[in-house]
A = this chain, B = another copy of it.
């Protein structure tokens, strides 16, 4: 099992507060995606909604995944003013959130 060189995945799971509209979620998603253009170490971004069938999602409805080349890149991202502003806005709309960073060990690509 080999560690992928130079990749850190930054995963955020969110359950938005009750009463938030689909439009507001779309705006937040666009704001999140825009960080790729503003923060150099953020290399890619994708997102999705839960469609799982095992009923183990614990209420989380959205996932957002970005990639970095190193933990130094994540540290720069976390401290970047564009991220700080966006995070304050985003977190004000979530009931719960998980942020998880990892260096993937690939078993089968």
| Residues on A facing B (Cβ under 8 Å) | 1, 4, 8-11, 13, 33, 36, 43-54, 56-58, 60, 63, 65, 71, 74-75, 78, 96-109
Contact = CB atoms under 8 A, between A and B. Distances in A.
Nearest to A96: B58
A56 B99 contact: yes
A78 B53 CA distance: 9
B51 A8 contact: yes
Nearest to A43: B108
Given A11-B63, A63-B11, A98-B60, A75 B53 contact: yes
A50 B100 contact: yes
Contact of A104 (B47, B57, B106): B47
Contacts of A11: 11, 63
A34 to B, nearest CB: 9
Return the 9 tightest CB-CB contacts between A and B, nearest first: A48-B102, A56-B99, A52-B101, A33-B107, A46-B104, A45-B107, A36-B108, A46-B106, A48-B104
A84 to B, nearest CB: 11
